[in-house]
Amino acid sequence: MDKLPKFTLPVWMDKGEVKKLRDATHRFWTGVYSWLLWPLKQIDPLTCDERLLDAIAWQRDVTRFTDEPLELYRKRVNYAFVNAKDAGSVAGFVEIFKRLGIGYIEINERQPEIDWDVIILRVTDEQLANNHNLLMNIIRQYGRTCRRYQYEVLQKLTLNMRVGHISGEYICYAATMPNDPFFMYVGQIESDSVCHSATLQTGSQTYSASLM
């Protein structure tokens, strides 16, 4: 609880001199409450005095690099223990970058045609430009022993696609001969070694063809 609760007077008393006395009393005890909380706030790196922050940072093996913002310095001191714990694994190393506000990062080890001791860090161009000193400090403090780190820059591209619905129907029509006897035919094919002939007879006419 950072603030004292403000008590409410009954309706018939919430005015005049009684209300002024209530407000003055609340301001006084709020000041006393903040005095009592001051020593406790000095233990928290996120709220302590900057002069005490350096002492806590020394205790947790954190050194402020050149031009480091105060807010980032407080975060590094505050997360020093958990960052040291997560330094040994790939997932933990990713969490370190997230805690310190760098964002998403990819870590790849033992890539084809690259020396086995090289670890590739994939970041965006913006991350590398805005956090260069912080990245170097994290690698120096939490990186693996006897490993070399190499940056690869990720570039985001926006792809627009149109999606539509296409429907169709497949129909196959087959031709058949009617059962009407008028359209039925009687055929006779005669053949010998010299010529080939065929005769087609319908209900009213006869057609013949020969192949010599």
Q: Could you report the per-residue pLDDT of 64-107, keeping only the tens digit for each?
A: 988 899 999 999 999 999 999 988 788 888 999 999 988 888 88
Average pLDDT over every residue of 42-65: 89
Confidence of residue 40 (pLDDT cuts 50, 70, 90): confident
Q: What is the pLDDT of residue 71?
A: 93
Residue at token pair 């010599």: 212
Whole-angstrom distance, CA of residue 110 vs CA of residue 117: 7
Whole-angstrom distance, CA of residue 42 vs CA of residue 82: 20
Whole-angstrom distance, CA of residue 79 vs CA of residue 13: 50
CA separation, residue 144 to residues 82, 93, 117, 140 (Å):
16, 10, 10, 9
Q: Is the pLDDT reported for residue 123 higher than 60? A: yes
Q: What is the pLDDT of residue 75?
A: 93
pTM of the model: 0.57
Which of 23, 45, 46, 47 lies closest to 34 in space, CA to CA?
Answer: 47
pLDDT tens digits for range 183-212: 444 444 444 444 444 444 445 554 454 544
SS3 147: coil
Whole-angstrom distance, CA of residue 45 vs CA of residue 74: 6
Extract the tokens encoding 61.
């093996």
Q: What is the pLDDT of residue 186?
A: 46
Q: What is the pLDDT of residue 2?
A: 64
Confidence of residue 41 (pLDDT cuts 50, 70, 90): confident
CA separation, residue 191 to residues 12, 14, 185, 195 (Å):
130, 128, 19, 6
Q: What residues have CB less than 8 Å from 82, skipping those under 6 apart? A: 99
